[in-house]
Structure 1
Amino acid sequence: MYQEIIDKMKEKDVIFSSGLNEIDLRKIQQIYEIMLPEELIEFYSLALPVSMGFYNWKDFSLSNIEHIKSAIKRPEKDLIELVDEIYWCDDWGEEPLDENEKTEIINNLIKKAPKLIPIFKHRYLPFYADNKSNPVFSIHGTDVIYYGDGLLSYLQIEFGSKNYDEIDYSMIPHVPFWSDLL
């Protein structure tokens, strides 16, 4: 399923290393305290993109671990810093006027939200086990959009074999908290 997009990405000069194996996956889970979604495991087991902008999950050097941990925490950190700019979702209840109270509510929502896995720059795939396939989010500060209705769709859009306006929004399942930010 992913071989065609890997070939397309190579044509765009994306550099790949060998794919992740079971040992790599266990180390990733232990170090980052995350689970990779099945679709990402399927893709990364074939080949791991490591060009600039991608995250090299096989590099277990301290500096790279810190780089990836920072990328994992970035959306949460940015939202807390920009809490007054968040579009308040009706499902969260009445929007508090007090910034500290608003920050506390957002912090609690983030703690319950699915973890985001960085894929490329500020593109993230949530790990949400209730969904067979999850959308890819582009998250930059409080600017949150869908950038694909699944991993394959996202890769096709990012690397030129599909147009952004071809995203099938009807196929996108709701992801707690993250979809509320749209």
Structure 2
Amino acid sequence: MISKYTDGVFTKIEEIYGVVLPLEFKKVYRDLEQLPIGWHNWADFSRENTDYLKKQMKEVMGEIMDEIGDIEWNDNWGECPNTIHEVHHFIKSKMKSAPNLMPIVGHRYIACAPTAVSPVFSIVRSEIIYYSASLTDFLKGKTITQETALTDLTQISFWSEIAQ
């Protein structure tokens, strides 16, 4: 049995990791009787666990940044700059203002955005896809299908713009 996720626990998570927890994260974790196998325990405030989770959050951003050249320009950003340097500079600035990513399990992440629904992204280096329409769906094993229109999913600044 895991520690009960309460408002106090959520506040501590936000303080320790410098994030704003999505509403769906709070609802899903509050309702869990026990964590699914492999899911990160955000209520474990041991130094070892908090250091590990901070490292995971930092590493995913670093891996994406290392492969910034593989990120395709999104037409919603306007006209693509003329040089690779300008493109990379623009994408880096978008990334810096993007919501933090929280690892849930393996290479599945949610963005720390104040949304009612938190889509789950699968992220492996610069390969970023919508994996599940919501954390609730993910918990139930529901994933995105090819018939799913990405525009129908909750849009998260930057992450939705580069997700396929």
> TM bucket by the smaller chain?
0.7 to 0.9
Structure 1, unmatched stretches of 5+, are 1-15
Distance (Å, rounded) in 1 between the aligned partners of 2:147 and 2:53: 28
Structure 1 partner of 2:160: 179
Equivalences for residues 115-126 of structure 1 within 5 A = 115-126=100-111
Counterpart amino acid of residue 79 in structure 1: I
Matched with 1:155 is: 139
Structure 2, gaps ≥5 residues long: none
Q: How does 1:24-43 map to 2 (within 5 A)?
A: 24-43=9-28
* Corresponding position: 1:66 with 2:51: yes
- Structure 2 length normalisation: TM-score? 0.83
**Alpha-carbon distance, 1:69 to partner:** 0.8
Backbone CA RMSD of aligned residues: 2.3
Q: In the alignment, does 2:90 pair up with 1:90?
A: no
**CA contact 2:132–2:143 (8 Å) conserved in 1:** no
Relative CO higher for 1 or 2, CA cutoff 8 Å, sep ≥ 6?
Answer: 2
Superposition TM-score, scaled by structure 1 size: 0.76
The letter of the residue matching 1:178 is W
Cα distance in 1 between the residues matched to 2:143 and 2:83 = 40
Q: Secondary structure at the match of 2:116?
A: coil
Between Structure 1 and Structure 2, how many residues are aligned? 160
Identify if the C-alpha distance between structure 1 residues 147 and 167 changes in structure 2 by more than 3 Å, giving closer, same or farther: farther
**Percentage identity across paired residues of the two chains:** 29
The 1-side partners of 2:82 and 2:62 are apart by 20
Residue in structure 1 matched with residue 35 of structure 2 by the alignment = 49
Q: Cα–Cα, structure 1 residues 173 and 85, in superposed 2: closer, same or farther, change >3 Å?
A: same
